[in-house]
Amino acid sequence: MTQELDSGAESLSSRIPDQPLIQTRELTVAFHHQDVLKDVSVSIKRGQTVAVIGESGCGKTVFMKSLVGLIKPTTGDVLFDGRSLQDIQFGELTETRRRFGFVFQNAALFDSMSVFDNIAFPLVQQAIVSTEEIRERVLQHLAEVGLPMEVAHRQPAQLSGGMRKRVGLARALILRPEVVVYDEPTTGLDPIMSDVINELMLDTRRRYPVTSIIVTHDMRTARKVADRVLMFYPRSRLTPEDNQVIYDGPPSELEHAEDRRVRQFVHGEAGERMNELLQAINE
C-alpha cells in the first residue's frame, strides 16, 4: 500500500525531464466580459520553484486556480503533464488534483478536528494505508515542519498563526504530491516566523522531488525560495497588445529589471500608480 502512495514520486522521476510539467497556452479568463487573464503562455519545468508576484487584482489567484482546473479558461488551454485539463473527465481530473498539495493562505484547517486528524485527512480519504502507517506519516511530517509530537492532540484554535501554517504544510505534503501550491504562505506572520516558513519551503524542495508555485507579495520569500519569478500586471491597465507577464526571470535580476513597473513593485514604491489613483479621484 505504501508503494501505491509513493507511485507519484516514482512516476515523476521516470518521465521525460525536458517536458514541462505545467503549461498555459494563450490562457484567457474573463468574468462578466472583463478579462482577468489575457493570452498568458507560461511553461513550468519539473522541480522548479516559481514565485508569482504582482499587485492585488493582477490575476495571480485566478492563474493559480486555472492550473488545477478550479477555473476553466474562457479561451486558451492549460496542460498538466502533457495533457489538456479540458480533455480530462471529471473523475480523472479529481485524481489529477491529488498530485497537487495546497498550502492555503490562512491554513484552512478544520476547526472541529485535532491537528493529527487535519494532517491525516487526505490519507483517510484515500483509504490506501493502514492506521499505523497513517500515524507514522503524520508524526513524520509534524517533525519535518518543526512541531513536537504533543501538538498532534491540540485543536487548531490552540495554535499560533505560524504553527497553523506549518500544520497546513504538513497536510499538503502527506500524499507526497508532485506539485505544491502555496497561497501567500507568509501573510500575517512576523519576520522571524516568515523566515521559518521560507526555510521549510526550501527544506521541502530538498526532501521531495516537488515543483513549487508560490503566490506571494513577500519579496523576501520570492528572493530566498524561488529560482524563477513571474510578475503579472493588471489586465485593465494594459493595452490589448501588452504582455500581462511583465517579468519572467531569476529573483536576482528583479532589482535591475528593464521595466520600471517591476522595480517599483520590488521596492514598494507607489510611483506612477499614485498618479493614476489621483487622476481617477479627480475624474
Domain of 249, CATH number, reads: 3.40.50.300
- What is the crossing angle of helices 115-126 and 161-173, to 10°? 20
pTM above 0.75, yes or no: yes
In a domain, 119, yes or no: no
In a domain, 277, yes or no: no
Mean pLDDT of 5-26: 65
In a domain, 202, yes or no: no
pLDDT exceeds cutoff 60 at 3: no
**Grid coordinates standing for 25?**
497556452
Q: What is the pLDDT of residues 156-197, one digit of tens each?
A: 999 998 999 999 999 999 989 999 999 999 988 899 999 999
pLDDT exceeds cutoff 50 at 1: no
CA distances 26 to 41, 46, 78, 244, Å, are 5, 21, 9, 11
Strands (E), the chain: 22-31, 34-44, 49-53, 75-80, 83-84, 100-103, 179-183, 211-215, 228-232, 245-249
In a domain, 122, yes or no: no
In a domain, 195, yes or no: no
Q: What is the pLDDT of residues 43-92, one digit of tens each?
A: 999 999 999 999 988 999 999 999 988 999 999 999 999 999 988 888 78
In a domain, 173, yes or no: no
Percent of the chain, pLDDT > 90? 68
Question: Under a CB-based contact definition with an 8 Å cutoff, are residues 93 and 257 in contact?
Answer: no
Q: What is the total count of domains within the chain?
A: 1
Question: Under a CB-based contact definition with an 8 Å cutoff, are residues 109 and 151 in contact?
Answer: no
- pLDDT, residue 11, reads 44
pLDDT exceeds cutoff 80 at 20: yes
Please, which pLDDT band fits residue 258 given cuts at 50, 70 and 90?
very high
Mean pLDDT of 38-47: 96
Q: Name the average pLDDT for the chain.
A: 88
Domain limits for position 76: 2-99+178-190+211-256
CA distances 269 to 57, 248, 272, Å, are 17, 20, 9
Q: What is the pLDDT of residues 121-131, one digit of tens each?
A: 988 887 778 88
In a domain, 15, yes or no: yes
The DSSP annotation for 92-160 comes to: HHHHHHTTEEEE-TT----TTS-HHHHHHHHHHHHT-S-HHHHHHHHHHHHHHTT--GGGGGS-GGGS-
- pLDDT, residue 10, reads 43
266 vs 92: CA distance, rounded Å: 40
Sheet containing 100-103, strands listed edge to edge, beginning at the edge strand earlier in sequence: 100-103, 179-183, 211-215, 49-53, 228-232, 245-249
- pLDDT, residue 12, reads 44
217 vs 198: CA distance, rounded Å: 13
- pLDDT, residue 107, reads 77
Q: What is the pLDDT of residues 224-253, one digit of tens each?
A: 999 999 999 999 999 988 999 999 999 999
In a domain, 243, yes or no: yes
